Amino acid sequence: MLTRDFLKLVGLSIAQRILPPSLLSLWAQAAEAQAKGRKVILVTFGGGVRNSETFSPEGLRNIPRLAALRPEGFFYKTCQNQGVLSHFNSTASIVTGNWQRVDDFGFEAPASATIFEHFRKGLKAGPLDAWVVATNKSFASMGSSSQRDLGLPFGANVVLPKQLLLDAVKDIVKQPRREDLSDRDAVHRRLETILQEGYEGVGWTIFKVGRQMDKHVQVALTRALGEFINGPEAPTSGDELTYFITREVMREFAPRLLLVNFWDMDVAHWGSYSLYLQAITRTDRLTGMLWDEIQANAKYKDRTTMLILPELGRDGDINTANGFLNHRSGDPSCRNTWLLALGAGVTKGMTDRPLRHVDVAATAAAMLDVKADGLLGQPAKEIFF
Amino acid sequence: MPVPRFDFAQVPVTFAAYFNEQLRGWDTLFPAEQAYFERLGKYLEKTDAKLFAALAALEPRMGVTLSNWPRGSFTLQQVDFLNRNPLYPEWRRVITEIFDRISPELDAEVAARGQPRLVIVIGPSDLPVGPDRMWTRLIGKGRRVSLTVPDELTQYLPSLLASSKLESLSDLCAASRGPYSSWAIETASNLLPYSAQATQLSYDKLAPYRQRLMTEVQKIAEAGEVRGPRQLGEKLKTLSPRGAEFSKDPVMSEFVRATLLAGNGTLLVNNTFVEWASVQALRRAKPVLLISSFGIRNKMKPFSSLLIFNDQETATAIPTQADMLGSYVDLEIFYQYIWQEAGKYAEYRNNTAYLFLAEGMDEMQLIAPPDFPLSAHKLTLADLYRASREWLRLG
């Protein structure tokens, strides 16, 4: 894969290569010193989901895990996306705390500083301390902004697991006498080959020196892929891979700030309501599994706040072009989503007061005790103890 | 009909641009659309400038200038400009308010020339539910009607859609009101024998064209020449059906291309194609008779389903499996969307009968004006045919 393709896919790539080892060492010490500090995990229902299929009375059956967790946390019935209703701009608004109006398809970095940059610069956090794991393959540049004084050197590592899987499947499909896609071993072999030989294609941004991939990272990723491919159910979902990669990142690197973007539910564009519902339920299950991992992982238990929200809604059934298939109408079904806060520092309750997507970064900053200037959003004051 | 000319000097550029874009594609518009734009154009020419006062005030605040919005132009950059503008929600609201003012007057003209219309939506026979769960989103909109159905499933459509003399509803309607007045849209080819003179669309029959489009989309995506869906759409405008892929009718040729490329999953999922084509037919062609017949979609296959523009049949040896339950869930919401779409237009309000059926099922959901000529007792499909024919005044 050509470098320019890689850069297009993964965005961040050079931070570690251009920084001197002494600075990396300092970062490591700072990370160690703050190892007992608060951690924040942002989970987005990417692709967009409507209230009617989630926290409405008739939607609760699609999200049994979140419905059960809701009493344990603080629930905002309304969290508004007042910005551009594209995937990239929606999530970029969440992570920057300012409404973003950059390229809809990820060809530009967010214009405002991300929470990752505020966090890493403000707390002198190391490169392993902020991660983005995204199913949406256009999120390569989600980890840092185009701000000159921040940007790449302070950004998050961005991992695009689905792109890795896509590349493996594509390669197998293209072989003249190809191994069949039903052969899990074949896909696994191909994935490992990509990791060992062509890491540039996987959306992985952790490098030690030059073009050598961090061995630790490679082992962790390979293990996650093996579990994914050989899991008890035939894996069909990019989000399942995103979950496994996220879990490995948590177990191996225990970052303090992590964005997990699930995206299977964007299958709604295909016009299959049943597949859309299945994806919602899968995301609910995977989000529940992430919460279970937090509880089971000593590095996270009792010190982690998880903020869960859809990046946008989808068009309502009435008076729009084609209901759940799309998400650009700007109607209330598109803009009004919800937010569930769980874990450390979060009180229990529920409110009608609308939150905004731009308030999420400010809330995360407050949780992490990071000073973040220039945010339009305000911390979600109701959730704090 | 020649392209009409209008004086839009008083119409703000962001509104006029949309209108001019429609005029540019005049030759590919259906007669119903041309008639609408004629009415709209004449209305705008004579309307009071106050109608556009809010939009005229908003455009400068959005940064609209003669240099980025020269009169008569409408480009992808301008679409992006609108979408990413901080005042875009307000712009949409103002546009909606303008149409809220215009539409009742234009609709009144249409309603005055109203005629009975009929929408027949047929579900497949293999759905794993009974009549009590078939049309749950439409409960309260009409009533369930008992049917006596033929013992042989193969006799269901012939009994419903044609007389014993093989006079089909679709062909009678097309013969009396023109081919665009009668549409038959389906996943398979079951309606074809009963709609020879009507406008026919079959997902299966379009397979060669769909495959060509998918191949081209994949090529373009892999070449990395386009930045996003809008640019891709522009590039794909050149890929019209050719040869045996569809008719020589430029209006239908463009309709099929747009349906397959602008309708999200229409290239990939048979029922999505039927739903979106039906919605677009209602919106654009305003048929007097629309028959939409759904099928069962296949399950997505592991891994290969990630490569959406690959041929799912050849990408894996895993056998293709029908997704009965998934199809049922998909269709239940599509029934609602088709019914709802028709209700948006004056042509269909208060004078349209909707028959929701499933092949072989001994009940149907009927939503119809009180004067739709059906008796209350248990009906045969032939009764339904006769009532439909009488309703549409097809002799």
The whole-angstrom separation of Cα B298 and Cα A101 is 38
Confidence of residue A1 (pLDDT cuts 50, 70, 90): very low
Residue A110 contacts B, CB cutoff 8 Å = no
What confidence tens digit (pLDDT) does each residue in A128-179 have?
Answer: 899 999 988 788 889 999 999 999 889 998 888 877 777 766 666 666 655 5
Lookup result for tokens 């294609």: A201
- Looking at mean pLDDT, say which of A49-53, A315-319, B309-313 comes out highest: A49-53
Q: Say whether A236 and B305 touch across the interface (CB within 8 A).
A: yes
Chain A residues closer than 8 Å to B307 by CB? 166, 169-170, 173
Residue B298 contacts A, CB cutoff 8 Å = no
Rounded-to-10 torsion of CA B84, B85, B88, B89:
80
Q: B4 lies in a domain?
A: no
Q: Say whether B264 and A274 touch across the interface (CB within 8 A).
A: no
Cα A188 to Cα A51, A164, A362, B19, B368: the distances in Å are 37, 11, 40, 53, 57
Mean pLDDT calculated for residue range B72-89:
82
Question: Are both B313 and B200 inside the same structural domain?
Answer: yes
Question: Are both B107 and B130 inside the same structural domain?
Answer: no
Confidence of residue A233 (pLDDT cuts 50, 70, 90): low
Q: Are B14 and B64 in contact (CB under 8 A)?
A: yes
pTM of the prediction?
0.88
Q: Inform me whether the pLDDT recorded for B267 exceeds 60.
A: yes
From the CA of A4, how many Å to the nearest CA of chain B? 11
pLDDT of A65 reads 98
pLDDT of B83 reads 82
Chain B residues closer than 8 Å to A324 by CB? 333
ipTM score: 0.91
DSSP string over B60-77: HHHT--TTTS-TT---HH
From the list A166, A271, A319, the residue facing B276 with the nearest CB is A271
- Min mean pLDDT across A156-170, A362-376, B143-157 is at A156-170
pLDDT of B144 reads 94
From the CA of B316, how many Å to the nearest CA of chain A? 5
Question: Are both B107 and B26 inside the same structural domain?
Answer: yes
Question: Are both B256 and B125 inside the same structural domain?
Answer: yes
Q: What angle is formed at CA A380 by the lines to CA A139 and CA A51, rounded to 5 degrees?
A: 65
Q: Inform me whether the pLDDT recorded for B281 exceeds 50.
A: yes
| Best mutation target, B95, B303, B323, to test chain A (most A CBs within 10 A) | B303
Q: Say whether A271 and B297 touch across the interface (CB within 8 A).
A: no
Question: Are both B246 and B104 inside the same structural domain?
Answer: no
Comparing A184 with B214, the larger pLDDT belongs to B214
pLDDT of A202 reads 47
Q: Inform me whether the pLDDT recorded for B334 exceeds 70.
A: yes
From the CA of B154, how many Å to the nearest CA of chain A? 28
pLDDT of B330 reads 96
What is the identity of the amino acid at B309? F
| A221, burial (CB in 10 Å: exposed 0-12, middle 13-18, buried 19+) | buried
Q: What is the CATH number of the domain that holds B342?
A: 3.40.720
Q: B5 lies in a domain?
A: no
Q: B44 lies in a domain?
A: yes
Question: Are both B133 and B45 inside the same structural domain?
Answer: no
3-class secondary-structure state, position A345: coil
Confidence of residue B49 (pLDDT cuts 50, 70, 90): confident
What confidence tens digit (pLDDT) does each residue in B170-181 have?
Answer: 999 999 999 999
Question: Are both B93 and B125 inside the same structural domain?
Answer: no
pLDDT of A32 reads 47
- Min mean pLDDT across A169-173, A309-313, B324-328 is at A169-173
Q: Are A60 and A67 in contact (CB under 8 A)?
A: yes
Question: Are both B333 and B254 inside the same structural domain?
Answer: yes
| φ, ψ at B47 (rounded to 5°) | -75, 155
* Domain termination site, one of B55, B78, B112: B112
pLDDT of A197 reads 55
| Residues across chain B | 395
Residue B227 contacts A, CB cutoff 8 Å = yes
Q: Inform me whether the pLDDT recorded for A211 exceeds 50.
A: no
What confidence tens digit (pLDDT) does each residue in A285-304 have?
Answer: 999 999 999 999 999 999 99
pLDDT of A196 reads 59
Select from A358, A316, A320, A326 the least CA-distant residue to A339.
A358
Q: B18 lies in a domain?
A: yes
Total of domains in chain B? 2
Q: B159 lies in a domain?
A: yes
List the domain range (segments joined by +) for residue B327.
Answer: 117-391
* Domain termination site, one of B112, B131, B146: B112
* Domain termination site, one of B48, B81, B112: B112
Question: Are both B70 and B96 inside the same structural domain?
Answer: yes
Q: B262 lies in a domain?
A: yes
Mean of all residue pLDDT scores within chain A: 82
| Best mutation target, B137, B187, B279, B306, to test chain A (most A CBs within 10 A) | B306
Comparing A33 with B126, the larger pLDDT belongs to B126
Q: Inform me whether the pLDDT recorded for A203 exceeds 70.
A: no
pLDDT of A199 reads 45
The two most distant CA atoms of chain A are separated, in Å, by 61
Chain A residues closer than 8 Å to B224 by CB? 5, 8
- For chains A and B, count residue pairs whose Cβ atoms are closer than 8 Å: 123
pLDDT of B283 reads 95
From the CA of A375, how many Å to the nearest CA of chain B? 17
What's the first-to-final CA gap in chain A, in angstroms?
49
Q: B8 lies in a domain?
A: no
Confidence of residue A201 (pLDDT cuts 50, 70, 90): very low
Question: Are both B84 and B168 inside the same structural domain?
Answer: no
Q: Say whether A173 and B315 touch across the interface (CB within 8 A).
A: yes
| A371, burial (CB in 10 Å: exposed 0-12, middle 13-18, buried 19+) | exposed
Question: Are both B19 and B100 inside the same structural domain?
Answer: yes
Q: Are B71 and B13 in contact (CB under 8 A)?
A: yes
Q: Inform me whether the pLDDT recorded for A187 exceeds 80.
A: no
pLDDT of B320 reads 81
From the CA of B325, how many Å to the nearest CA of chain A? 8
Q: Inform me whether the pLDDT recorded for B312 exceeds 70.
A: no
| B164, burial (CB in 10 Å: exposed 0-12, middle 13-18, buried 19+) | exposed
pLDDT of A29 reads 47
pLDDT of A136 reads 84
Q: What angle is formed at CA B198 by the lines to CA B192 and CA B201, rounded to 5 degrees?
A: 55
The whole-angstrom separation of Cα B223 and Cα B204 is 29
Mean pLDDT calculated for residue range B21-43:
90
Q: Say whether B318 and A182 touch across the interface (CB within 8 A).
A: yes
| φ, ψ at A66 (rounded to 5°) | -65, -35
Q: Which A residues in the span 90-109 are in contact with B, Cβ-Cβ below 8 Å?
A: 99, 101-105, 107
Q: Buried b / exposed e across B116-126, counting CB within 10 Å, b at 16+?
A: bbbbbbbbbee
Q: Which A residues in the span 266-295 are in contact with B, Cβ-Cβ below 8 Å?
A: 269-275, 277-278
Q: Inform me whether the pLDDT recorded for A195 exceeds 70.
A: no
Mean of all residue pLDDT scores within chain B: 88
Q: B3 lies in a domain?
A: no
From the CA of A252, how many Å to the nearest CA of chain B? 27
Given 3-state DSSP classes, what are the helix, strand and coil percentages for chain B, each rounded to the nearest 5?
55, 10, 35
Residue B316 contacts A, CB cutoff 8 Å = yes
Question: Are both B105 and B122 inside the same structural domain?
Answer: no
- Min mean pLDDT across A305-319, B63-77, B116-130, B194-208 is at B63-77
The whole-angstrom separation of Cα A262 and Cα A242 is 7
Confidence of residue B235 (pLDDT cuts 50, 70, 90): confident
pLDDT of B122 reads 98
Residue B276 contacts A, CB cutoff 8 Å = yes
Mean pLDDT calculated for residue range A199-216:
48
